[in-house]
């Protein structure tokens, strides 16, 4: 709508200036006729004096109209420029606000997804097969736990693997030993998800780590959730191990950034991103951007700015229910002169 208003205003300006040009031509002809009339009046002598007065007045009127035409042309040009500037500002404001809403929507969709992951890890850590394996890691208990984790993975296809680590940080069971055969026996005692998982206060607590590539999961991008496995599965039980669940980040995040409601024309000169709290790109509609830093200038939870000829719109994670979010941003960068 804003673009239509601008186009109509500019079209009106063009038509008006064309008509003024036509009027100028008419006045030029009038001035020439006035001049010729004065010359003829001079030749007529005394008989032409009255006609000379009329011819002089015609010339004066013509000059006044020409001056008025020039003034009008200048005013129209000035106002047309102001209309164009105001229209461009209106268009940028509309696009910036819309993109900021879409950016916030992108990270909100991801938050809702990750809220479910926080529920999953707390629930599965109380599963009897998981608790038995951590408390009494005999062959039969570990076999049963492995089978149970595999069953979960067949239903929850958004995960790459689920690991049970004992109190010392040694992985004792995983759900996909055929795919990730180097998991069992691995020492994860120094990894963030294990260390923070052992420190969780109770069965309602969990930890989530920044999205990273996981060498033991064939270099896949993962969002790792963890919580302590507690004695007897009780919420206040003593920690006997840690359950780590590895969310298959890349395809889920890619579906979100590519599913944002942009037109084909908008998409051709824009990129949609998810940024973590350190402004690292953790998902992007532009290939190969994962892990790179992005210079986002976010002074508010929501907004947009112009940077180097581009609209940069963003929205901070609002969290979802008990999931407070990790300070992530949705971000859309688009060429300011397009659209």
What is the pTM for the complete model shown?
0.77
The tens digit of pLDDT for each residue in 8-23 reads: 666 766 767 676 676 6
Report yes or no on 317 lying in a domain: no
Q: How confident is the model at residue 35 (pLDDT cuts 50, 70, 90)?
A: low
Strands 270-275 and 281-284: antiparallel
Report yes or no on 120 lying in a domain: no
* pLDDT of 272: 96
Report yes or no on 13 lying in a domain: yes
Report yes or no on 188 lying in a domain: yes
Please compute, for residue 323, the number of CA atoms within 13 A of its CA located in the half-sphere on the CB side: 26
CATH code for position 204? 3.30.450.20
Looking at the chain, the whole-number percentage of residues with pLDDT higher than 70 is 76
CATH code for position 64? 1.10.287.950
Q: CA-based angle 81:98:302, to the nearest 5?
A: 110
Same domain, yes or no: 79 and 172? no
The token pair that represents 88 in the structure block? 């461009």
Report yes or no on 103 lying in a domain: no
Report yes or no on 96 lying in a domain: no
Same domain, yes or no: 151 and 87? no
Residue 1 has pLDDT above 60, yes or no: no
Whether 331 contacts 103, CB under 8 Å:
yes
Same domain, yes or no: 20 and 78? yes
Report yes or no on 15 lying in a domain: yes
Mean pLDDT lowest for which of 74-78, 107-111, 241-245, 251-255? 74-78
What is the SS3 string spanning 138-161? CHHHHHHHHHHHHHHHHHCCCEEE
- Cβ contacts of residue 241 below 8 Å, gap of 6+? 133, 134, 164, 165, 166, 167, 172, 228, 229
Whether 165 contacts 188, CB under 8 Å:
yes
Residue 136 has pLDDT above 80, yes or no: yes
Mean pLDDT lowest for which of 67-76, 119-128, 297-306? 67-76
In the three-class reduction of DSSP (H, G, I as helix; E, B as strand; rest coil), residue 329 is classed as strand
Mean pLDDT of 323-335: 91
Report yes or no on 324 lying in a domain: no
Number of structural domains in the chain: 2
**Residue range of the domain that includes 213:** 125-252
Same domain, yes or no: 248 and 169? yes
**Angle between helix 49-124 and 2-44 (nearest 10):** 170
> 200, 220, 252 — which closes off a domain?
252
């Amino acid at each position: 709508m804003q673009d239509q208003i601008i186009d109509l205003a500019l079209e009106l300006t063009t038509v008006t200036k064309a008509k003024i040009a036509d009027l100028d031509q008419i006045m030029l002809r009038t001035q020439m006729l006035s001049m010729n009339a004065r010359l003829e009046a001079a030749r007529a002598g005394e008989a032409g004096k009255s006609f000379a007065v009329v011819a002089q007045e015609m010339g004066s009127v013509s000059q006044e109209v020409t001056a008025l035409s020039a003034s009008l042309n200048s005013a129209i040009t000035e106002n047309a420029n102001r209309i164009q500037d105001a229209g461009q500002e209106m268009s940028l404001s509309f696009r910036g606000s819309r993109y900021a809403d879409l950016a916030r929507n992108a990270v909100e969709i991801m938050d809702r997804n990750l809220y479910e992951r926080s529920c999953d890890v707390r629930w599965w850590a109380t599963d009897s097969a998981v608790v038995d394996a951590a408390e009494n890691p005999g062959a039969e208990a570990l076999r049963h736990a492995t089978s149970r984790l595999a069953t979960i993975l067949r239903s929850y296809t958004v995960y790459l693997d689920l690991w049970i680590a004992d109190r010392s940080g040694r992985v004792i069971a995983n759900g996909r030993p055929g795919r990730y055969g180097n998991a069992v026996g691995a020492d994860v005692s120094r990894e963030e998800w294990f260390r923070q998982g052992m420190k969780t206060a109770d069965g309602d607590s969990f930890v989530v780590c920044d999205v990273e590539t996981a060498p033991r999961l064939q270099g896949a991008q993962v969002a790792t959730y963890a919580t302590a496995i507690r004695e007897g599965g009780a919420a206040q039980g003593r920690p006997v191990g840690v359950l780590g669940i590895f969310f298959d980040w890349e395809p889920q995040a890619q579906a979100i950034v590519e599913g944002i409601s942009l037109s084909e024309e908008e998409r051709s000169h824009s990129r949609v991103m998810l940024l973590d709290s350190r402004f690292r790109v953790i998902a992007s509609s532009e290939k190969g951007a994962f892990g790179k830093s992005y210079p986002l200038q976010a002074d508010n939870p929501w907004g947009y700015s112009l940077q180097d000829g581009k609209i940069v719109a963003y929205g901070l994670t609002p969290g979802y229910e008990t999931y407070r979010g990790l300070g992530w941003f949705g971000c859309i960068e688009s060429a300011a002169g397009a659209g």
